[in-house]
């Protein structure tokens, strides 16, 4: 039976891959790399570990969101693997957190491909660590989201991480300030060019896709 491992390779630093994930990458026959516009952050993370590996690219168009692309991707993976062969599909962060892998997983199961998921360090885990502030303390609550927030939600939590903030920063910051949250803008977390901003004007000027906002109640 064919087998694919969905492996989270972390937020950007190649040393933040789990040992289990790295060992599976090293033994896999084929490495499947998701990319957009011929670029792959996941490949940049693992490039030193796969120099002698067979690479198959899975192209995803930015902004396109339909299940046909996952059907096509799963067929590419299934066709590239021989019976009793193992492959690794790598994804940034964690495979089960806002990842295209989640939808791909369903399609691979339809094709009778065995799937095992290996967790990875998320960007929000790494960002809280980079800031040296707690995600949650005993008795607190945190919310993770990739879009809109409102007063009702913020009244219920002590910490928040907002992903994909490059298009709505102004609205988000206004709501955070209104609800007395201290916020930090983190881009390219754990990478060599990581930047942390706290100045509102600087945050609003920045347009990095790989960015998030971490906020804590004051």
The mean pLDDT of the chain is 94
Band (63; pLDDT cuts 50, 70, 90)? low
Angle between helices 101-110 and 67-80 (to 10 degrees): 60
Per-residue pLDDT reduced to its tens digit, 105-119: 999 999 999 999 999
So what's the pLDDT on residue 62? 63
So what's the pLDDT on residue 64? 63
Q: How far apart are CA 214 and CA 205, in angstroms?
A: 17
Model confidence at 61: pLDDT above 80: no
Band (38; pLDDT cuts 50, 70, 90)? confident
What does the pLDDT average to over 14-33?
A: 97
Structure token digits, residue 44: 């940049």
Band (20; pLDDT cuts 50, 70, 90)? very high
Band (65; pLDDT cuts 50, 70, 90)? low
Model confidence at 2: pLDDT above 70: yes
Which of 169-184 are b and which e, b meaning 16 or more Cβ less than 10 Å from the residue's Cβ?
A: beebbebbeebebebb
So what's the pLDDT on residue 26? 96
Per-residue pLDDT reduced to its tens digit, 119-141: 999 999 999 999 999 999 999 99
Per-residue pLDDT reduced to its tens digit, 152-200: 999 999 999 999 898 789 999 999 999 999 999 999 999 999 999 999 9
Model confidence at 47: pLDDT above 80: yes
Q: How far apart are CA 42 and CA 35, in angstroms?
A: 8
So what's the pLDDT on residue 68? 85
Using DSSP's 3-state secondary structure scheme, residue 128 falls into helix
Count of CA atoms in the C-beta half-sphere (13 A) of 53:
24
What does the pLDDT average to over 81-96?
A: 96
Model confidence at 51: pLDDT above 80: yes
So what's the pLDDT on residue 36? 85
């Amino acid at each position: 039976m064919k087998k694919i491992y969905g492996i989270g390779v972390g937020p950007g630093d190649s040393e933040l891959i789990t040992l289990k994930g790295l060992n599976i990458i090293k033994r896999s026959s084929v490495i499947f790399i998701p990319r957009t516009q011929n670029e792959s952050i996941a490949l940049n993370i693992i490039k030193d570990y796969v120099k002698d590996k067979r690479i198959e690219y899975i192209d995803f168009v930015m902004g396109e969101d339909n299940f046909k692309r996952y059907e096509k991707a799963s067929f590419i993976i299934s066709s590239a693997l021989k019976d009793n062969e193992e492959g690794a599909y790598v994804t940034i962060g964690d495979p089960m957190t806002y990842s295209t892998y989640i939808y791909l997983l369903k399609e691979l199961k339809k094709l009778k491909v065995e799937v095992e998921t290996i967790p990875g360090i998320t960007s929000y885990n790494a960002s809280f660590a980079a800031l040296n502030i707690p995600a949650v303390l005993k008795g607190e609550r945190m919310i993770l989201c990739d879009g809109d927030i409102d007063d009702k939600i913020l009244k219920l939590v002590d910490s928040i991480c907002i992903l994909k903030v490059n298009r709505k920063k102004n609205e988000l910051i206004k709501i955070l300030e209104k609800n007395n949250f201290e916020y930090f803008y983190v881009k390219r977390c754990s990478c060599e060019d990581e930047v942390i901003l706290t100045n509102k004007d600087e945050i609003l000027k920045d347009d990095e896709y790989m960015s998030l906002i971490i906020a804590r109640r004051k």
